[in-house]
Structures are given as C-alpha cells and as structure tokens.
C-alpha cells in the first residue's frame, strides 16, 4: 500500500499544505517562503497560483534543519523576523501568526514568540533575525526546541485558546481525524 503524502492529502477539496499556506498568506508575513523537498513537482503545482516564493531543498532527506536553512537563505536582508511554520499544520491561522510576530520586542530582548496553551508550547514559532545564524547551524531532523530552551529569557509566550498549535498531520490517524472534523464542520 502506498502511503499518502500528508501535504497533498485532500480535505474537503483542499490539500493540507494549501490550507496551511492559505493561513500564512492571511497573515501580514511577507514574503511567504515554501521549501519543497519530496514530490517537489506535485507540491509546486498545487502552490503555483499562490503568492509564495518556492525554494527547493535537494537535501530534504537530511531532515528538517536542511529545509529551515534553505528557507532562511532566501529571506531578504531587511526582514526583522520569520515565522517558522510546518506545512502539515492546517488548523493554524493568519491571526495567530500576526499575534506571534507582534509579540516580539527586540528592545526588550524578546526574540522568540511561542504559542502556549495550558503550559504547553506549540507551533508555529516566530524568530528574530538576531537568531537566524543559530537556526542556520541546526543539523539533522530536529526542530529548534533546544534553541528555545537555550534562550528562555528571550521567549515570549503567547497564550492561545485552542489546540491548533499542537495539531499536525504526522500520521494517517491525524489525517483521518482532520477529515472527520472537516466533515462535521461542513455539516454544521
């Protein structure tokens, strides 16, 4: 049995990745950079009509850090911060990304904005440019959780009211749950 590409999985006529990308485009964040890897042509095809910068990471098999580096490398020099958004988080919103970006306060040393619910940190995370070099040194299939811990004094926690910041489509079960929720919402 061929495993379905979670990013291309359709939910009520729209792929998981397009749903996530639409949420980012609904924010004030620009440019919106999408890093491709596996099934590059299919991914680029579904995003071709959206206002995004497509960057291919030929080293995607090396893990998340290689995609992070590819995305950071193309950001214009005048960008103050970047929201790092995982492509499989279709429940996030543009309003959340804006709240996170607005929480940064470079003068006060608040360089990282993280969504939090009931004491648990989620995604996406907004990073000040001051930390881009450290993000660029990450290796392997790891996120930046340890950098957040290392810069705990620079973290601003943005309280959120729902679990969208914890939901990603990492398993077939999560995809089935998302499809079931979307079906219920359609009927409501």
* Interatomic CA distance for residues 26 and 22, integer angstroms: 6
Give the tens place of pLDDT for each residue, 2-38.
467 888 888 888 899 999 999 999 999 999 999 999 9
Within 8 A by CB and 6+ apart from 185, the residues are: none
- What is the rounded (10 degree) CA torsion for 36, 40, 42, 45? 70
CATH of the domain at 119: 3.90.550.10
What totals of helices (H) and strands (E) does the chain contain, helices first?
7, 9
Confidence check: pLDDT of 83 > 50: yes
Q: When comparing pLDDT for 183 and 121, which is higher?
A: 121
- To the nearest whole percent, how much of the chain has pLDDT over 70? 96
Query: Does residue 177 sit in helix, strand or coil?
Result: helix
5 assigned to some structural domain? no
Q: What is the mean pLDDT of residues 154-177?
A: 91
Domain containing residue 87: 10-187
Q: Is the entire prediction scored with pTM above 0.85? A: yes
Count of domains forming the chain: 1
- The encoded tokens of residue 117 equal 């619910």
> What is the number of alpha carbons within 13 Å of residue 87 lying toward its C-beta?
23
């Amino acid at each position: 049995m061929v495993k379905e590409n979670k990013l291309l999985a359709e939910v009520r006529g729209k792929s998981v990745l397009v749903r996530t990308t639409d949420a980012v485009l609904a924010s004030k964040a620009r440019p919106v950079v999408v890093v491709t890897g596996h099934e590059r042509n299919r991914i680029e095809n579904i995003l071709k009509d959206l206002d995004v910068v497509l960057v291919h990471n030929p080293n995607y098999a090396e893990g998340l850090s290689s995609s992070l580096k590819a995305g950071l490398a193309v950001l214009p020099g005048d960008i103050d911060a970047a929201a790092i958004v995982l492509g499989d988080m279709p429940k996030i919103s543009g309003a959340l990304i804006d709240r996170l970006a607005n929480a940064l306060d470079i003068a006060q040393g608040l360089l990282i904005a993280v969504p939090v619910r009931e004491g648990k940190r989620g995604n996406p995370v907004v990073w000040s440019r001051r930390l881009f070099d450290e993000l660029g040194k990450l290796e392997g299939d790891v996120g930046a959780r340890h950098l957040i811990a290392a810069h705990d004094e620079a973290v601003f926690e943005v309280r959120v009211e729902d679990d969208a910041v914890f939901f990603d489509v990492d398993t077939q079960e999560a995809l089935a749950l998302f499809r079931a929720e979307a079906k219920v919402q359609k009927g409501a």
